[in-house]
Every structure is written in C-alpha cells, then in structure tokens.
Amino acid sequence: MKPAPFDYVLARSAAEALDHLGQVGADGKVLAGGQSLIPTLNFRLARPRLLVDINGATELAGLREADGTLTVGALVRQRTLERWARTRLPLFADALPLVGHLATRTRGTVVGSLVHADPAAELPALLLACDGAVVARGRAGERVIPGRDLYRGPLTTALDPDELATEARFALPGDDAGWGFAEVARRHGDFALAGAAALVWRDPAGRVTRARLAFFGVGGTPVLAGVAERVLAGETPTPSRIAEAARAAAATLTPEADLHATVEYRRRVAAVLAERTLAAAAGRARLPR
Ligand SMILES: Cc1cc2nc3c(=O)[nH]c(=O)nc-3n(C[C@H](O)[C@H](O)[C@H](O)COP(=O)(O)OP(=O)(O)OC[C@H]3O[C@@H](n4cnc5c(N)ncnc54)[C@H](O)[C@@H]3O)c2cc1C
C-alpha cells in the first residue's frame, strides 16, 4: 500500500523540529530512521499531516560517555551503538546484533526504537536494565523521563505528541557487572517471542549486591522484574537461588497470546531465559578485591 498524503519538512535543528511539531500537535510525526514509521504509514496505520524529519539536526548525532553515563543522541544509529559496545559494553554487544537486520540497524536510531515502544523490541528492555531515561524537549521546556515511567502500553509512551526525544541516557553498569542477554525468535532478525536482559553485581564474598532483570516480548511494555533482585540480594547466587528468582520474576508477567505463541509458552520461555541470563550474569560478575 501507499501512505495517505502528508507534508514533509527537513528540520535543521531540534528547535526547528519543535517549532514544526508545535504547530501541528497530534497531526505531526517525527521521522528518524524511518524503519518503523514508514511501514506504519504504508499500511495506513498512521496518517500524520506532517512528517518532521530530524535527520538534518546534526546536533542530535552525538554518542558520549561521561561520569558513568552513556548519552545517545536522537540521530545515533543502532549500528553505531553496536560498534561502540563491542569494546565498552558487552551486554549491548550481545543484544544489538539481534535488533532487526544490518540494514535496519544502519538506518534505525536507538532513540527511535526506545520511543516507538514496540513491546518486543530489545532496546527498551536495555533502557530499563540500565536504569536509563529519555530526555524530552517540548514547548514547555525539557524533562527527563525515567525508563520505568516511559512505557504506557504497546507503542505508547509518556511523550507528548509535540515533544521531541533528544537523547537517551543509560547508566553504565561498570566493569564489575556480569551480564546476560537472550531471546527466542523464529528467525534471526525477527522480533522476539520473548527475551530477557540481566545484570548482576557481587561483593568480595560472592553475594549479590544488586541485580537487574528486564523482559521484552512478554506483555504490552518491557518489564523490569524487581522481584528477581529481591530474591537474590544478599545471597550467594547458587543455581537453586537463581532458579527461584527466575520463577518469581516470570510469575509476575502477564503475556498475551498471538499468532506466534500462547500465554503459557511465553511465560515458560521467559522463566527459562530469566534463569539463563541471571546465571550468565552471576557467573560473569567480577568479585571486587
Ligand atoms: C524488517 C525489520 C525488522 C525489524 N526487527 C526489529 C527487531 O528485531 N527488534 C527491534 O527492536 N526493532 C526491529 N525493527 C524496528 C527498527 O529497529 C526501527 O529502527 C526502530 O523500531 C525505530 O527506529 P527508527 O529510527 O527507524 O524510528 P522511526 O521509524 O523513524 O520512528 C518510529 C516512531 O518513533 C517516533 N520517533 C522517532 N524518533 C523520535 C524522536 N527523537 N522523538 C520523538 N519521536 C520519535 C516516530 O515519530 C515514530 O512514531 C525492525 C524493522 C524492520 C523494517
């Protein structure tokens, strides 16, 4: 199909993009990498009056690391983050190659994926696992939306229609953190049927000091399973303790059935992936001296 008619403008700065968005409100859409928006337009699932292309706003293209925070501008492509992560952030290095295909990652932006809010997308779960946030700029000024407050439902976030997400911030886990990432998809590059990302930190005696477990593909939004941390905190991560944490986390999920998987299948797979990723993370965590 072809999209319904729309007007198009190339914004040369974030301020210019905001001007345009402010004029049309809910009738406008930001165009970043276009990997989700263009198919949505072609299927006429969205009929914006105006597309505001931010690819001319080069001020949004920066990826920087400072004071334990990774800041990713709205024009940073997924492929750029993937390359950076290879030497800096193994959790992301494991996850990014599973986000679509090389061609979609070369064009698709990190922030575009975060705010598109597909419940089966990998990056929103990484945002939750890394205590991340999205910075939103609108006519009323700038606000920082923590990942845990960003996701409201499938393809729905706390962003207002006239707001631009200018950057995402991820708390870097540090070299001591162990990581695990796994998903089940029918074919490489497909959206996951279920997936999990885990981080674990341990003390010199080997006990867990902190843990993060985030799921995707198992509900209307990505899910941060705080119960996993509560089960593991202060404990030695033995296989039985990890299995208990994974079971407890999966029990909190409310997955939905669709053409691809039943509720029971998704919950079962989520429990298995939680156990695997937590075990991997606990095994990789470095004990501080
Ligand atoms: C074949 C195929 C396979 C894919 N597989 C996967 C997969 O396995 N996992 C996965 O996670 N994704 C997958 N995707 C989606 C892809 O990764 C997209 O790149 C991503 O979801 C959106 O990023 P984008 O930059 O292309 O955003 P766009 O398509 O440009 O925009 C997506 C939405 O976000 C809004 N938006 C974008 N940027 C901003 C901003 N800065 N401020 C406010 N609103 C904004 C747009 O208005 C639009 O509503 C796949 C896509 C394709 C075509």
Give residue-wise pLDDT tens across range 220-232. 999 999 999 999 9
User: Does ligand 1 have an atom closer than 6 angstroms to the CB of 28?
Assistant: no
Q: Is 44 exposed, middle or buried (0-12, 13-18, 19+ CB in 10 A)?
A: exposed
Atom of ligand 1 nearest to the CA of 39: 53
**Distance between CA atoms of 253 and 202, rounded to whole angstroms?**
26
What the block records as the tokens of 203 is: 């003390």
Give residue-wise pLDDT tens across range 79-104. 999 999 999 999 999 999 999 999 99
CB contact at 8 A, 206 and 200: no
User: Does ligand 1 have an atom closer than 6 angstroms to the CB of 111?
Assistant: yes
User: Does ligand 1 have an atom closer than 6 angstroms to the CB of 109?
Assistant: yes
Q: How confident is the model at residue 146 (pLDDT cuts 50, 70, 90)?
A: very high
Segment 180-200 mean pLDDT: 94
User: Does ligand 1 have an atom closer than 6 angstroms to the CB of 191?
Assistant: yes
- Look-up: residue for tokens 């990997």? 35
User: Does ligand 1 have an atom closer than 6 angstroms to the CB of 104?
Assistant: yes
Segment 265-283 mean pLDDT: 97
pLDDT > 90? residue 188: no
- Measuring CA to CA, which residue among 170, 167, 145 is closest to residue 68? 170
User: Does ligand 1 have an atom closer than 6 angstroms to the CB of 17?
Assistant: no
What the block records as the tokens of 220 is: 């209307």
CB contact at 8 A, 101 and 189: yes
Contacts of 240 (CB under 8 A, 6+ apart): none
Segment 191-196 mean pLDDT: 94
C-alpha 261, offset from chain centre: 22
Contacts of 197 (CB under 8 A, 6+ apart): 91, 95, 122, 125, 126, 129, 179, 180, 181, 212, 213, 214, 216, 277
- Is the model more confident about 135 or about 1? 135
Give residue-wise pLDDT tens across range 17-55. 999 999 998 999 999 999 999 999 999 999 999 999 999
pLDDT the model gives residue 115 = 98
Indicate the Cα dihedral angle 257, 258, 262, 263, nearest 10°: -20
What is the rounded average pLDDT for all residues in the chain? Answer: 96
Helix, strand or coil, per DSSP, at residue 104: helix
pTM of the predicted model as reported, rounded to 2 decimal places: 0.97
pLDDT > 80? residue 1: no
Segment 145-149 mean pLDDT: 98
**Distance between CA atoms of 208 and 232, rounded to whole angstroms?**
6
- The total of other beta-carbon atoms located within 10 Å of residue 93's CB is 18
pLDDT > 90? residue 189: no
Percent of the chain with pLDDT over 90: 94
Instruction: Calculate how far, in angstroms, residue 176's C-alpha sits from the geometric centre of ligand 1.
Output: 32
**Distance between CA atoms of 207 and 24, rounded to whole angstroms?**
54
pLDDT > 90? residue 140: no
Segment 52-73 mean pLDDT: 97
